[in-house]
Amino acid sequence: MHKRLRQKGWSEKELKRLHSSKLEADRLRKGLARLVHNYLFPFVVASAIIMNFVLAFVFLPLFMMLNSASLFLIIIIAGVFFGLMFENLLYHVEELSRFRQMVALAVVPAVAAFGFIAFAQFAHFIASYIGLLGVRHNPIMIGVVYAVSFFVPVALKRA
């Protein structure tokens, strides 16, 4: 945060005053405010993971019906959109350490890729069970494409 404020022209005196008032606010934070502050980051990460699993579940019929080009285009659009939303959430969580950001940026796309791989494999199972002769997609490729497209907005924003 200090780096961004320095870029905007803040002086060292203003940054020190900001830091001391921030420390005082942390000391005075009580009850529900402290609880929300401590658990906001895990809630954001958990909600992003759940959101990605729900999205993979919604894609289940698409895995069985669409050809590769259409499916991958939709996956890329959804990945970029959800990546932008996740980046926006991470950006607005105050006082997020660099380590926690890196953990979130590694865990969420990896779990999302796993969800897409699992649901694509499940779609193949359902299609073969009911005798649907649809298009077969590589589940690993689906997961990788979604994870990369999810991570692209984050990488571009932080570059």
Average pLDDT over residues 61-72: 87
Q: What is the DSSP letter of 9?
A: T
**Cβ proximity of 146 and 82 under 8 Å:** no
Q: How many helices (H) and strands (E) does the chain have?
A: 7, 0
Average pLDDT over residues 2-19: 75
pLDDT at residue 76 greater than cutoff 80 = yes
**Cβ proximity of 108 and 145 under 8 Å:** no
Q: What pLDDT is stored for residue 37 in this prediction?
A: 65
What are the pLDDT digits (tens) for 23-64? 667 666 666 666 666 777 788 889 889 999 999 999 988 888
Distance separating alpha carbons of residues 11 and 116, to the nearest angstrom: 48
Q: What pLDDT is stored for residue 118 in this prediction?
A: 94
User: Nearest 10 degrees: CA dihedral of 15, 18, 19, 25?
Assistant: -170
Q: Quote the longest CA-to-CA distance of the chain.
A: 71
Average pLDDT value for the chain: 83
Q: What pLDDT is stored for residue 134 in this prediction?
A: 67
Which among 88, 81, 155 is positioned nearest to 112, based on CA atoms?
81
- Report how far apart the first and last C-alpha atoms of the chain are (Å, whole number): 16
**pLDDT bracket for residue 72 (50, 70, 90):** very high
Q: What pLDDT is stored for residue 105 in this prediction?
A: 83
